[in-house]
């Protein structure tokens, strides 16, 4: 197979911790961005919570958007972190059923 490399050729690897930080923060950042867009398309932050309990929860729209974004980022990062933890602490698959970790390199 000319298109399949036998070994890992990229000589540069990140240490485990840095990989973990990246794969927790980055996907949650993407999800938080989408969640912020959807949420604030339907909800106007200055109208949040000023009905029965004045003053409003957010002084300005910009602070509402920003705080909303970081809230979503935090929540989705926690979810990513738990997923990562579960994936990393699972008992490894028995060798005979283990898939090569570089399956994404293959071309169907």
Partner 1 sequence: MTAADETQDGGLYAVRQKIYPREISGRFQRLRVIAVWVLLGIYYVLPWIPWGGRQAVLFDLPARKFHIFALTLWPQDFYFLTWLLVIAALSLFFFTALAGRLFCGYACPQTVWTETFLWMERLAEGSRSQQMKLAKSPWTREKILRKAAKQAMWIAFALWTGFTFVGYFTPITELAGKIAGFSTGPWETFWVLFYGGATYVNAGFMREQVCKYMCPYARFQSAMFDRDTLIITYDEKRGEPRGARKKGVDYKAKGLGECVDCTMCVQVCPTGIDIRKGLQYECIACAACIDACDEVMDKVGYPRGLIRYDTQHGLEGKRKRVIRPRTIVYASLLALLVTGFAVTLSGRDVVGVDVIRDRNALFRERADGRIENVYNVKLLNKDREAHEFRIRATGVEGLEVDYAGPTVYVGPGAVQSVPVRIRVPRGAVQGGADLIISVEAEGRPDLSASGKARFIAPTD
* Residue numbers at the binding site for partner 1 (CB under 8 A): 1-7, 9-15, 19, 22-23, 26-27, 37-38, 40-42, 44, 60-63, 65-66, 102, 104-108
Q: Which residues contact 3 (CB under 8 A, 6 or more apart)?
A: 107
Nearer to partner 1, 5 or 94 (CB): 5
Nearer to partner 1, 44 or 78 (CB): 44
Nearer to partner 1, 2 or 94 (CB): 2
Write down the least CB distance from residue 37 to partner 1, Å.
7
In three state form, how does the secondary structure of the chain look? CCCCCCCCCCCCCCCHHHHHHHHHHHHHHHHHHHHHHHHHHHCCHHHCCCCCCCCCCCCCHHHHHHHHHHHHHHHHHHHHHHHHHHHHHCCCCCHHHCCCCCHHHCCC
Nearer to partner 1, 14 or 85 (CB): 14
Write down the least CB distance from residue 53 to partner 1, Å.
15
Write down the least CB distance from residue 81 to partner 1, Å.
15
């Amino acid at each position: 197979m000319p298109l399949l490399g036998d070994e890992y050729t990229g000589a540069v690897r990140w240490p485990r911790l840095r990989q973990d930080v990246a794969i927790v923060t980055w996907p949650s950042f993407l999800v938080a961005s989408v969640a912020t867009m959807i949420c604030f398309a339907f909800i106007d932050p200055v109208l949040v919570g000023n009905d029965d309990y004045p003053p409003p929860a957010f002084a300005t729209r910009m602070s509402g958007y920003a705080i909303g974004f970081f809230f979503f980022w935090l929540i989705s990062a926690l979810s990513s972190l738990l997923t990562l933890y579960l994936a990393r602490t699972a008992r490894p698959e028995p060798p005979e059923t283990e898939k090569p970790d570089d399956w994404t390199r293959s071309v169907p």
